[in-house]
Chain A
């Protein structure tokens, strides 16, 4: 595993607060994305070339700006303008932009920067300019190792996103998912991890056994998932850095549907015994196992509230699959879904104010959100089959997977990762090398 530790020393080149005229309204989705010009970062002439995968990156400044542009475009909140229309050269623009030139191409915000690469260090600085007010809004610099250049681009994206929207970004994050190949009746599944924009894919298991539902720990170093190793479906823990795997607990039957508690100390999961699935937790430090639900129905897909005080889960105790909320000790169980259809896979938003879920109604699958008391249900997307939403760390975007209907010969199956904004706008396919399912979004790698 590549070192994800990034030495950041970020200092303010200029630290005077400016009055921003440029603002992004994030409540409305992508109806009116902000026109932004991302100038290629000026490459310091003394820089050495970066080699990656046997290829030499010609212009690292341009590559970084492209990664930033893709992030902005995919967010749906920004409209990165075509570089062909840029008049000013990157080096001069970074020192003092000619705002009239940028106004002419209708840019409201401008990003400029400079990058210096030595053998073992990459230093990048950027400035965000308010074109309308002709002012600098933020200026920062970062240092890291040259092979980590994409992370620098993501961190810059996050800083700009935060400056313009007032909320934390989600670009310096990763997605863990299940990579799928082979026919529908015999899928080969591997754990895979990638940057949120699909770059840097790595496969963490070989595909020898079925693996499902990986989820990050809050600190992103550990992953809990279900593995059919030796035909014994059990919850496992994987350290991404070291590759060390271990079974979670010693249960005499299938354990599944794992997730971490918000403090990262416990794993909550279902344990199936004699046809009955209940929810359990295991403290990873003390190894203490606690039974949380005790009901003859299927209780599964548990997810903690961000403060750790409550748990949402789905149960068919009413006859059909519905969503319930209870205290973290299993008391005070309350059903929150009463709409038409089945409800499953509840997952609490990192902000705590919403629960995302999958709804099945009249043979169609929906991803939706509702408040933790079940009110305010809003369905964001509808399809033949889709489920398992996972929140971006800022609670703005949901990632999930979608499977296609096969044709009359049973062919044409695929499973793909998709994302959609909380607003219900900006639905996007996330390109992966293979088919993919069960995505889980990490928290921000650098804060």
Chain B
């Protein structure tokens, strides 16, 4: 029951988000602003309130305001969990050539790493790996699916 009501809440919440987004942003759908994903499908959590991933625009590695907010929370979490190391996975969507996407994923993961380091996290705790377009989370062939796949995911290193 608990999960059901949570799901209901999410549906309502995302519907609200959709409506407000439509009202304010011309180019955004409910879950995208420009072509950056802003929804919460596929997102997992490192800890309560700490999202594990940030999303990027096509061919870009710039961090959005929302991304920087997420990463500051990740940095705060990392400062508390001093013994943990992390891997930052960089990913690209399926709309680029494989080799360029490998480089792009690496660039995205490093953008995240750099930002975390400016918040005091030692680079030695942050490992970077690019998967290019090899590991999509959404197997769709739509702008929404691509936006979910253009991401960097922070995971606890084994």
Contact = CB atoms under 8 A, between A and B. Distances in A.
Interface in B9-34: none
Contact of B103 (A231, A277, A411): A277
Contact of B107 (A275, A301, A403): A275
A320 B59 contact: yes
Q: Which 9 A-B pairs have the closest CB atoms?
A: A275-B110, A410-B139, A184-B139, A344-B97, A277-B103, A298-B103, A405-B141, A257-B99, A410-B140
B100 A210 contact: no
A251 interface: no
16 contacts: A184-B136, A185-B136, A187-B134, A212-B134, A213-B99, A254-B129, A256-B102, A257-B102, A275-B106, A275-B109, A277-B103, A314-B97, A320-B59, A385-B94, A408-B142, A410-B145
Given A300-B100, A360-B96, A411 B139 contact: yes
Interface in A151-176: none
Contacts of A320: 59
B134 A210 contact: yes
Contacts of B121: none
Given A187-B134, A275-B61, A406-B140, A256 B107 contact: no
A340 to B, nearest CB: 15
A272 B97 contact: no
A272 B98 contact: no
Given A213-B99, A233-B102, A320-B59, A274 B110 contact: yes
Given A231-B129, A272-B106, A276-B107, A385 B95 contact: yes
Interface residues of B, number: 33
Contacts of A212: 98, 102, 134
Contacts, number: 106
Count chain A CB atoms within 10 A of each CB in B102, B108, B136, B145 and give the residue with the most: B102
Interface SS majority for chain B:
mixed
A185 B139 contact: yes
Contact of B106 (A254, A301, A358): A254
B46 interface: no
Interface of A: 183-187, 210, 212-213, 226, 231, 233, 253-254, 256-257, 270, 272, 274-277, 298, 300-301, 314, 316, 320-321, 342, 344-345, 358, 360, 363, 384-385, 387-388, 403, 405-406, 408, 410-411, 413, 438
Given A384-B141, A411-B139, A300 B103 contact: yes
Interface in B94-138: 94-100, 102-104, 106-111, 114, 128-131, 134-138
A438 B98 contact: yes
Contacts of B129: 231, 233, 254
A213 B98 contact: yes
A314 B135 CA distance: 23
A126 to B, nearest CB: 42
A256 B99 contact: yes
Given A184-B139, A275-B61, A406-B141, A344 B99 contact: yes
A272 B132 CA distance: 12
Nearest to A411: B139
A185 B137 contact: yes
Contacts of B111: 275
Contacts of B106: 254, 272, 275, 277
Contacts of B114: 275
Nearest to A302: B99
B108 to A, nearest CB: 8
B113 to A, nearest CB: 8
Given A254-B106, A274-B110, A276-B107, A185 B135 contact: yes
Contact of A314 (B59, B100, B141, B142): B100
Given A184-B136, A320-B59, A388 B98 contact: yes
Nearest to A275: B110
Nearest to B87: A231
Given A212-B134, A387-B98, A410-B138, 20 more contacts: A185-B135, A185-B137, A186-B135, A213-B99, A233-B129, A254-B102, A254-B130, A256-B99, A270-B103, A274-B110, A275-B108, A277-B103, A321-B59, A321-B96, A344-B99, A344-B100, A345-B97, A387-B97, A410-B140, A410-B145
A262 B100 CA distance: 23
B99 A301 contact: yes
A411 B142 CA distance: 12
Nearest to B102: A256
Contacts of B102: 212, 226, 233, 254, 256-257, 272, 300
Nearest to A231: B129
A408 B10 CA distance: 22
B145 A403 contact: no
Contacts of A186: 135
Contacts of A384: 141
